[in-house]
Amino acid sequence: MPSAHPRLPITAFSIANALGSNAADVADALRAGRSGLTPVDPVFGLSFSTYVGAYTGPRVDLDGELARWSTPIARLVAKLVDDLGPAVERARQRWGADRVGVLMGTSTAGATTTELAYKAFIETGRLPFEYDYSRQHTFGAVLHVVSTRAGVSGPAWMVSTACTSSSKPLASAKRLIEAGVIDAAIVGGCDTLCNMTLSGFNCLGALSHERCIPFSANRAGINIGEGGALILVERDADEPLAFLEGVGESSDAYHVSAPHPEGLGAKLAMQRALDEAGCQPQDVHHINAHGTGTKANDVVESKAIVELFGTQVPVISAKGYCGHTLGAAGACEAVFGLLTLQHGFVPPSIGADPLDERVEALVPTERIDGSFRRVLSNSFAFGGNNIAVLLGAP
């Protein structure tokens, strides 16, 4: 049945994470099945070992009016805005600056900067002179940098729903454009590494001390990563790169930090994405799973996928490439999906061999080349928050 909800053209995207500082480098790493995970830097002062997906590429130096907003996350999002290139200027000219929204997601915002400042406060009794809470910690600080750098003045907010944070802005943008509130939006998200996040997942017993190997019988948990991605969506476009076809959101209504054992919420989100796009399960040619590499998540997600899509659609997890970038994961992995559509390959699911025998989904451990018309990307989060994003080729 055709959808009553128009698909949205995607006209530009940018990405930076442990795989590279731009889309071409990230595509090369995915094509080669090359992981960006490395042992965690001692600078984090952890009492345990783990691997991380650290971003070591360039960031933008913020000066002038934005100098006081300069933090690692702000400098990274500024780079991502710049990497969107002339499409932003064109969108601003076409729609008007006040008709272009900035809808982003993060789980950390400026927590990396605040953690260092608070550590200094504990040691010395005072915050560092240069620390500025409202310009360096808050969610609005990142929004200000993106809006200013892009020269847009439409609605701007940060979704913070843990690991679904940067997928949900895609849904928000689709709704706002459909309601006539805006005509275009810069959507995406960004997160940076910090001790608090690494220690937190370690205390939950969810952190792997080795490289993350989702879907493997030997998997031992998550590696945390950092990075970000931005996607420009517009009401219409002459030469779109791809389409945002449907988004499905759901709640588990089950547990604050554990997935529903039958994958009920996950399945609902995927079904709703199909419904919104007017698609059938067989219309989906590749699924980028949430695939954190924890014992519980991968089996439950595989079960939900198989119930809805069967066992013929290739399912991979990107967490073995760049780690779990948390609040940036949804946007980064949506861009991985766009790269699959653009370049015609499904990357291997790194480390999945030997596959957990309870994982019935088709998990390729070798790259699959071909033409892929639709990719579904899943993100699931604390609080039982689920989203599935369906992307289509032009």
Partner 1 sequence: MNQQPYETAVTGVGVWLVGVPDAAAWASGVVDDAVIKPVGNGLDKRNRRRASQHARALSDVYAEALAQAGADAETVATVFGSSLGEAGTMIKLLDQIHREKASPSPMAFAMSVHNAASGLVSIGGGNRGFTTSIAADYDTPAMAIAEAVGVTHRFRTPVVVACSDEAAPPDLVPEVERFDAVAAALVIEPADTQNKVLARLRGPLFVEPTIGGAEASPEVSLNPQMGLLDLVDAIQRGKRGMLRLDRGRGRGWCVAVSDG
Catalytic residues: 163, 290, 324
- Distance of closest approach, residue 188 Cβ to partner 1, in angstroms: 15
Contact positions with partner 1 (CB under 8 A) in 41-100: 98-99
The length of the chain is 394
**Tokens (6 digits) for 122:** 């504990």
In this structure, what DSSP letter does residue 164 have?
G
Of 63 and 123, the one with the shorter C-beta distance to partner 1 is: 123
Out of 139, 262, 281, 367, the residue judged to bind partner 1 by CB under 8 A:
139
Contact positions with partner 1 (CB under 8 A) in 244-283: 249-257, 264-265, 268
Out of 65, 180, 357, 371, the residue judged to bind partner 1 by CB under 8 A:
180
Residue where the block lists tokens 């949900």 = 168
Question: What is the C-alpha separation between 129 and 62, in angstroms, rounded?
Answer: 18
Out of 71, 107, 297, 377, the residue judged to bind partner 1 by CB under 8 A:
107
Part in contact with partner 1 (CB under 8 A); list of ranges 115-123, 211-219, 277-285, 298-306: 115-123
The reply to whether 114 sits near partner 1 by the rule CB under 8 A is yes
Residue where the block lists tokens 């040619």 = 285
In this structure, what DSSP letter does residue 356 have?
P
| Sequential DSSP letters for 64-94 | GGGGGG--HHHHHHHHHHHHTTHHHHHHHHH
- Distance of closest approach, residue 158 Cβ to partner 1, in angstroms: 5
Per-residue burial over 188-218, b if 16 or more Cβ lie within 10 Å, else e, is bbbbbbbbebbbebbeeebbbebbbbbbbee
- Distance of closest approach, residue 345 Cβ to partner 1, in angstroms: 33
**What's the gap between Cα 371 and its chain centre?**
23
The reply to whether 155 sits near partner 1 by the rule CB under 8 A is yes
Of 255 and 358, the one with the shorter C-beta distance to partner 1 is: 255
CB 373 within 8 A of CB 341: yes
Q: Which residues contact 309 (CB under 8 A, 6 or more apart)?
A: 270, 281, 284, 287
The reply to whether 150 sits near partner 1 by the rule CB under 8 A is no
- Distance of closest approach, residue 365 Cβ to partner 1, in angstroms: 33
* ω into 354 cis (within 30 of 0): yes
Q: Which residues of this protein are in contact with partner 1, per CB under 8 A?
A: 5, 98-99, 107, 109, 111, 114-115, 117-119, 121-122, 127, 133-134, 137-141, 143, 153-162, 168, 172, 175-176, 178-182, 195-196, 199-205, 249-257, 264-265, 268, 381-385
